[in-house]
Structure 1
Amino acid sequence: MTGRCRRPSGRVAAGGYAERVISRARNLVNAARSRAKRALGGSPVEAPLSWAIKVPAPDSPEGDVWGDVFYAEDLARALRRLGQTVYVDRWETRTRPDPSVQDDVAVHLRGFHRPELVDGAVNILWIISHPDWVSEEELDLPFDLRLAASVPWAAVMSRPDREIRPLLQATNVERFTPEVQPSDLESGVLFVGRSRNIFRPIVRDSIAAGADLEVYGDLWEQFIDERHIKAEYLDNAAAPGAYRGARIVLNDHWDDMAQHGFVSNRLFDAVAAGALVVSDAITGGFPVEFGGSVRTYASVDELRELLAEGASGWPTPEERAATSRKVAEFHSFDARAMTLLVSAREALAARA
């Protein structure tokens, strides 16, 4: 019987329940870090595995600009640096056309489509966004490993017979660095993203606050004055320079991601690039490695103060550089690839 996921009501509450959730979440995070540290400590050279990273994007020019595709390609490159053989499969090409190529590991990045398990492979479900799309029935499928890009959601949704480990999103630290480049795009308050045909609250509130806002994205003409629209699209290659060149970067989350503590990928990229970010709040807060580089607001007046030139309370350039280094250490795709490789080899060893 298909059912929707059980969820915490609203934000994680105070008191005994919250303490149990936080304690469980910390134990899950510490266990994941311990496994990765053991692997980093050195092990005999093992034969490379064949990986398939399954993404929901269509195999078309439209799919070429999906965030899931960029994410999968960054993860694939990190796994290849560990000596692995990696394919990125989009939805229409999810079945390997050459039967001689057998997948040892399939990483399913959950998106618009429910994953299809790969026979014989170690199947890893990684929920990086939209937890409301994932049913209890899907979580109960025989995945070898279930991961979620939210510490509180992983803790709440885990059961004794169905562990969900937290594994947050990541950034490409080769691209998103704080090192200023001549090609960086200077701006005041920057927002990158489509309108989705809604007046996204952080953009609406920034306009109300009188911010010197610059927007890259389409479908905004119906909501904001054209003087704020710089272009309908920002190439992914230009994103690091845009974040570095902005005085403040704006970030927001889909409602279900905010409610269940799924940290936006943009936050990892922007902070790694040394940016200062104003975001909406999410359940559980943000990774401690972000330091003071990410701040939230609760009213237009508070947002106006945060966005003002010379606003107090923001970290110094030196502190931002240190924060960028911490993000590079703990939240790179290389760190995530190592965690996935260790977990896959553990699953294969358990089958032997």
Structure 2
Amino acid sequence: MVREFPAAPPIGIIAYSDLYDLPEQRVWGDYWFKENLIREFSRTGYPVDNRSPKIILHLFGEPRPDLPSDTYNILWLHSHPDWINTNILKKYRKIYCISTHFAQKLNDMGFDADFLMIPTNMTPVQCEKKYDIVFVGNTRQNKMRKVISDLGNSPYRVKIWGWGWKGLIPDEWYGGQYFENARLNELYAASKIVLNDHHYDMRREGFINPRVLDVLASGGFVVSDQVLGMNDLLDHSVPTYESREELEKIIDRFIRDDAGREKLAERGRKIAEQYTYAACCGEIIRHINSISGTLFL
């Protein structure tokens, strides 16, 4: 049921993908993050206004020098923790962060920060396994991603979607520049193993890629590089590796171990389904309600 917020200050949402035009925007994960948030705020009846907001929610992809100073600015820090400094942080009155470890660091620095994981709206799909190994993600400046480099010359059925891969991987591995976001859950569910990786600073500071929750919520099985706090958040439902040899052993085991894969995938799915857009938007609305009476008279 839609709630009424007759006097609520409208919220605007900005993201790194705003710097691109369609259709390029759609290859960036924060484009869908933003779209899903707008849809959920609108579903609740909370006003969204990107033209003249009183509150700005910044989904951090990079610093924004054009951030207004006359709005109540909220930062949702989900990537690139090494880019963060005091001069950036002081532009925000409230900070959400997808790492409990880093949120505590921010609190220790004197900022009002809380843990808030990027949610997922994926739903499980029952289907036959079409692929052995899948990866969805762009190259990094047209260079190989570490997890794909670590994969080596895999003997398994591999498919990769994203920008920049053509010419970097075997032709038979290349799935295309883009996989339709609305059908990603089908792809994840149809894959025995979905690979995932992180920037080094995200691994060190405990920033878990939201793709992990998307795969788990789809009923899929994901293998990732190690990230601080991942096992605590996901109860060891995601096998992690450090070396190329470890990755090879994990893949060789779980390609064949259907029961083991399904057990971990189900454990992860139950955790992932707790992180909903409704819960996240509800948290942000509660915070706005707690401060709006004094700021927007």
TM-score range, shorter chain: 0.7 to 0.9
Which of 46, 68, 83 is residue 133 of structure 1 equivalent to? 83
The change in CA–CA distance for 1:213 and 1:160 in structure 2 (over 3 A counts) is closer
CA displacement at 1:52 relative to structure 2 = 0.5
What is the DSSP-based 3-state SS (H/G/I as helix, E as strand, rest coil) of the residue aligned with 1:171? coil
Equivalent AA in structure 2 for residue 191 of structure 1: F
The change in CA–CA distance for 1:130 and 1:313 in structure 2 (over 3 A counts) is farther
Counterpart in the other structure of 1:177: 123
Q: Is the 8 A contact 1:193 1:218 kept in 2?
A: yes
Q: How does 1:3-22 map to 2 (within 5 A)?
A: none
**Structure 1, unpaired ranges of 5+:** 1-43, 90-95, 97-101
What is the DSSP-based 3-state SS (H/G/I as helix, E as strand, rest coil) of the residue aligned with 2:213? helix
TM-score scaled by structure 1? 0.74
CA displacement at 1:286 relative to structure 2 = 4.4
Per-residue CA deviation, residues 207-258 of structure 1 (Å, 9 max, x unaligned), is: 2454432111232244322121122321212211111110000000112211
- CA distance in 1 between counterparts of 2:99 and 2:46 reads 26
What is the DSSP-based 3-state SS (H/G/I as helix, E as strand, rest coil) of the residue aligned with 1:282? coil
- CA distance in 2 between counterparts of 1:236 and 1:115 reads 30
Q: How does 1:52-67 map to 2 (within 5 A)?
A: 52-56=12-16, 57-58=18-19, 60-61=21-22, 62-67=24-29
- CA distance in 2 between counterparts of 1:280 and 1:296 reads 5
Confirm or deny that 1:244 pairs with 2:204.
no
Counterpart in the other structure of 1:311: 257
Per-residue CA deviation, residues 264-319 of structure 1 (Å, 9 max, x unaligned), is: 0111111111111100011222453x3443110123332222212223883535x6
Counterpart in the other structure of 2:40: 78
The change in CA–CA distance for 1:291 and 1:162 in structure 2 (over 3 A counts) is closer
Confirm or deny that 1:108 pairs with 2:58.
yes
Confirm or deny that 1:266 pairs with 2:226.
no
CA displacement at 1:121 relative to structure 2 = 3.5
What is the DSSP-based 3-state SS (H/G/I as helix, E as strand, rest coil) of the residue aligned with 2:165? coil
Q: Is the 8 A contact 1:206 1:213 kept in 2?
A: no
Confirm or deny that 1:228 pairs with 2:189.
no
The change in CA–CA distance for 1:292 and 1:54 in structure 2 (over 3 A counts) is same
CA RMSD of aligned residues (A): 2.6
Q: Is the 8 A contact 1:170 1:333 kept in 2?
A: yes
Equivalent AA in structure 1 for residue 19 of structure 2: P
- CA distance in 1 between counterparts of 2:79 and 2:106 reads 15
- CA distance in 2 between counterparts of 1:232 and 1:326 reads 30
Equivalent AA in structure 2 for residue 50 of structure 1: P
- CA distance in 2 between counterparts of 1:49 and 1:82 reads 14
Amino-acid identity (%): 27
Equivalent AA in structure 1 for residue 12 of structure 2: A
CA displacement at 1:200 relative to structure 2 = 1.4
Counterpart in the other structure of 1:12: none
Question: How many residues get paired?
Answer: 288
Counterpart in the other structure of 2:74: 124
- CA distance in 2 between counterparts of 1:171 and 1:134 reads 25
Which of 51, 55, 59 is residue 11 of structure 2 equivalent to? 51
Which of 167, 187, 191 is residue 135 of structure 2 equivalent to? 191
Equivalent AA in structure 2 for residue 237 of structure 1: A
Counterpart in the other structure of 2:111: 162
What is the DSSP-based 3-state SS (H/G/I as helix, E as strand, rest coil) of the residue aligned with 1:191? strand
Q: Is the 8 A contact 2:5 2:46 kept in 1?
A: no
The change in CA–CA distance for 1:266 and 1:287 in structure 2 (over 3 A counts) is farther
Which of 266, 281, 285 is residue 230 of structure 2 equivalent to? 285
Per-residue CA deviation, residues 80-137 of structure 1 (Å, 9 max, x unaligned), is: 22221224x4xxxxxx2xxxxx423211111234264445533211111111222221
TM-score scaled by structure 2? 0.86
- CA distance in 2 between counterparts of 1:80 and 1:139 reads 28
